Structure 1
């Protein structure tokens, strides 16, 4: 009964897909006129690829009357000390918004130890983990492994990662001093890069490097650590944290961005810089992405996550005079 109710809640307001309960943890969906793989997957809390894989499909093209199978994972999780919505969403392979909706939490909610969360349909369990006290056993889980929360990454001062639960309303923050990112417990120094005379090649050579909070090497790096690895070999002195780097160089207006400029983001909604990347041109930038767990290239303004959180840019490479931002 709970499986059917959960799926019904997810499909409420949808465009016509008819569902029927099947074996435990499974529901069949009959495709109706106007349905698409994207709309059905979104209503079920799955990605399109998950929907296709579950049904053995190689193409997202659907036909009316086609019966698709969804796998429902009604799982609850008891929040542990140090957990954040952002970290749990990444751990279970879901969106923060989906986790908030499934648990009936308001946007920007902050977790408390012992709080019981309901994971959305499509949540998966990390491999090689065990069920924490208070977590329910999933019905027909996508992955049978269960999960023990690791301790949150901390720096020398014991502070948690700068990526915290997001508030939905941004307040047009400007570049200003923020709380500094804690240094790693190790004494990492930027690793030398082959061909460092070409900053672009140096930056792209770090693609897919694992994200490690406080890291500054090819073994693992955070966002400001990536910037140091690229620019330190060029003789460009920069401070350690993204908030400090946001005061280096000269300000650049968004319309005057050039490749090599540093771009800054407020990922906390608190009106201060908490993330940095390197602009590559053509609305793309490279950064150490903690959500993806690696160094990635993303769109700047076109991306619905990064665009609203972009707060400004600085030019640290010698070259054309930057266009100052009016304050």
Structure 2
């Protein structure tokens, strides 16, 4: 009997020890998302959430220690340093194949345009030394990208046409006094044109400097009562949304460029087109076309990763698009490429966008 008890205790302790070794620890670094970490370790996002319930519905913090199942950890230890582009390859597919993140691929290949990959291009999967003997193709790539940009501009209709109001996008540390002086106007005039403005101007705010001839009529958004209730995004789709936000945020500060789809310059739909290619979702190439993709959802049910559309042209038709990055009870923030400020994050609370808001589409499902 004693022998049986001893054997049972030994077996129990052995089993406990094995279970303890089934998980590995991962420290979150800059730019990582749950979706990207899951790809890196060849596991599912749901498995990460199961082992780390405290991170659900929260922003992933830098330095967080995550427990991960170790079943595929050994597979990530060795991988080739270079991948040669084949027909149909995307950064997303390459990242999935080699168990790394698209953020890392972008970091290791700053001269490659993810939306314009050519068969035979070389993609680095690890950081490269300056004396690398591998043949590089940045100059050829740059030339191809320029040709592509010219072709895009010629074949696309204007994606965004602002009304003829004079608009100033507020920069850091700017004041009403400084802006009034710049445009040879008065603080009183700016306050009359922007009655909602307080003493502190938020960075990125669209300040009306002068009204144009076009009447500033509000666009009638789609009635929420006409839309069915939408199901919330699941964990996998939320992880994809994090990846998309992270991808688009890499381009913050890039200038506006009509027909642009690269860091050299984006128009609004070009930014969305390039961003969503990271998850192998090919959107139409202009905002009105993108507005037909997915399912329209009520404003109160908006979630990060949803597309948000505006009518900014004189015809009052959909002509501008962004992607929602943050939703709270009182505010919706979105990333987009503005004609006046390039790639920035704005708020739907800004009167300029509140008056021109049309609809929100859910494309992650």
Q: Under a length normalisation based on structure 1, what TM-score does the superposition of the two structures give? A: 0.42
TM-score by length of 2: 0.38
Larger Rg: 2
